[in-house]
Structure 1
Amino acid sequence: MISNRISKLFIGALILPFACYGQQELPHNYSLFKPVPKSMMREMETDRPDVTESPYTVDAGHFQYETDFVRLVKEKSEEKKTHTLLINQANIKIGLTKSTAIQIGFQTYGRQKETEIASGNTEISNGFGDVTLRVKQNLIGNDQGNFAMALLPYVKFPTSKYDEESRFEGGLIIPMMYKLPGEWNLGFQVEVDRLKDQDQPSMHTEFLQTLTISHQILKNVDGIAETYYTYDFKEHHFSSFLNAAVQMEVVKDFKFDVGINYGLQHDAEKQFFFGASYRL
């Protein structure tokens, strides 16, 4: 029953951005083929480095490239330990309209090492990773105001060469942000996903909720602190995380970041990364 409801919600969310496209009145008809002038572009916002996505879209007719140069992921279940190295896990963002953007995510290279706990046997695989298609539809606050919210449905295609158990996955992300006094930003996110099981060739539904806060700690350097949890409806299992990151604007529209996502439970993922974002 839950899976059917999630499927209907997900399909509806995929259709909504394109339905909204025809309903919105775009100032000066800015679009993918008629870009917003640089002098009128919004401040650069990124979906990284925290888990909480930004509710703001890329300006119409402009591109943004965000990537993990390197990401290390450590996982442990009752049956095996998995260490994954990802190189250039990237997200290309393309502004279609005033409030709609499409995103194409891919993993240029992944290396996965799996070790069976009982036997100690190890298997190593590597190659190109999965491809993800996302559509971000801002609902409120894209251009003004202190509150913004968006819908961000996605589908992940199992193109991975390093993960033989990769499967179709998908979900709906709803990011929100408050701009607080003193240049503090408070972000929230709720998310429902349909994901593969770690040790079995089956799927489960998972809920995720985040809370993140950010503030400038030095000139052009932002500090980010975040917490989030996930709940597996199939296993009735909670995992909780504490995250921290630093993002530095080197020049206009170019930022570096480094951070950690640390799972508090023994079977929760531990991730370490550094990356960058660039806007054209």
Structure 2
Amino acid sequence: MSSLLLAAAAAAAAALDTPICADRPAKANAVCTVPAGHFQLEVGAIDWAQIKEGGETVEATALGSSLLKVGVDDRSDVELNITPYVRITGDAGKASGFGDILVRYKYRLSDDDAPVQLALLPFVKFPTAKHDIGDGKLEGGLAIPVSFSLGGAVSATLGPEVDLLADVDGHGRHAALVNVLNISAAVTPRLTIGGELWSSFNFDPAETVSQASADAAIAYVIGNDVQLDAGANFGLTRETPDLEFYGGISARF
């Protein structure tokens, strides 16, 4: 084996000596990427949400929502998100089927030892869901996750994001602004808890929709390559789902 291959193999082995770093749980995106030449699968086993508005109750359940990541180099990965089954029920009826597909690319701008970690995360949503589940439109956006230490085992992550969404009437596009503040703490080397505040302002020409939630999550790492997680989100505005509960698993290969 050449010295170049030996160096690459050593770097990959060193990367896998560190615990898995996933975007799950919670809504904030992590800055970290998958080590070059490796795969990571982050699966939402179940995600259930309920919203009550105008006397109507709507429930949404997603099963098996999966984010597959492939490490490109020491700073970037490509990611594919699919949701094989979505079920929406309400007073007006019910719908179920395959969800939309999301393609993402994450590029970390900061060095490994930088006190502030920064990444760019552009994404595109392909409208593969039926019209009674999705909006049938190509959409996308750019997230810029930023994380830094607050001292000790506590860290903060900010998640500013701008989206380009289809208008409700289907005749144009508009911007939406999303942000999240996540505070997490490593209770033990394997157990992490976190809380966050999330907000979204959707500037559709028909009506500006403001959403916000207070969220809590917990994650537990098994070995270095498997993480179990669970969380709950609580809506703070009329347009936000009142309750959301989820659980999942992530694995690195």
TM-score, normalised by the number of residues in structure 2: 0.86
Counterpart in the other structure of 1:156: 125
Q: CA deviation at 1:38?
A: 1.9
Aligned with 2:32 (options 52, 56, 61): 56
More helix as a share of residues = 1
**1: CA distance, partners of 2:101 / 2:85:** 12
Counterpart in the other structure of 2:175: 205
**1: CA distance, partners of 2:225 / 2:187:** 19
**Alignment CA distance shift 1:35-1:167 (3 Å):** farther
1:127 aligns with 2:97: yes
Counterpart in the other structure of 1:173: 143
**2: CA distance, partners of 1:176 / 1:45:** 15
1:183 aligns with 2:153: yes
Is the CA contact (8 Å cut-off) linking 1:146 and 1:180 kept in structure 2?
no
**1: CA distance, partners of 2:15 / 2:165:** 40
1:101 aligns with 2:101: no
**1: CA distance, partners of 2:38 / 2:10:** 6
- In the TM superposition, 1:1-280 aligns within 5 A as 36-41=11-16, 42-76=18-52, 81-115=57-91, 122-141=92-111, 143-161=112-130, 163=133, 165-196=135-166, 200-201=169-170, 203-218=173-188, 220-234=190-204, 235-269=207-241, 270-280=243-253
**Alignment CA distance shift 1:233-1:144 (3 Å):** same
Percent identity over paired residues? 27
Is the CA contact (8 Å cut-off) linking 1:155 and 1:169 kept in structure 2?
yes
The alignment's C-alpha RMSD in Å is 2.5
**Alignment CA distance shift 1:163-1:79 (3 Å):** farther
**Alignment CA distance shift 1:76-1:277 (3 Å):** same
Write the deviation string for residues 97-155 of structure 1: whole angstroms up to 9, x where unpaired. Answer: 1211100000011111243xxxxxx22121221111000011113x2232210000101
Q: Aligned residues, how many?
A: 243
Q: Which amino acid aligns with 2:215?
A: N
**Alignment CA distance shift 1:109-1:82 (3 Å):** same
Is the CA contact (8 Å cut-off) linking 1:169 and 1:196 kept in structure 2?
yes
The more displaced of 129-138 and 187-196 is 187-196
Is the CA contact (8 Å cut-off) linking 1:46 and 1:54 kept in structure 2?
yes
TM-score, normalised by the number of residues in structure 1: 0.79
Unaligned runs of 5+ in 1: 1-27, 116-121
Write the deviation string for residues 172-217 of structure 1: whole angstroms up to 9, x where unpaired. Answer: 00001002321211111100112346x6546542101111111122
Unaligned runs of 5+ in 2: none
Is the CA contact (8 Å cut-off) linking 2:196 and 2:215 kept in structure 1?
yes
Q: CA deviation at 1:80?
A: 6.0
Is the CA contact (8 Å cut-off) linking 2:210 and 2:239 kept in structure 1?
no
Is the CA contact (8 Å cut-off) linking 2:177 and 2:202 kept in structure 1?
yes
Q: CA deviation at 1:36?
A: 4.4
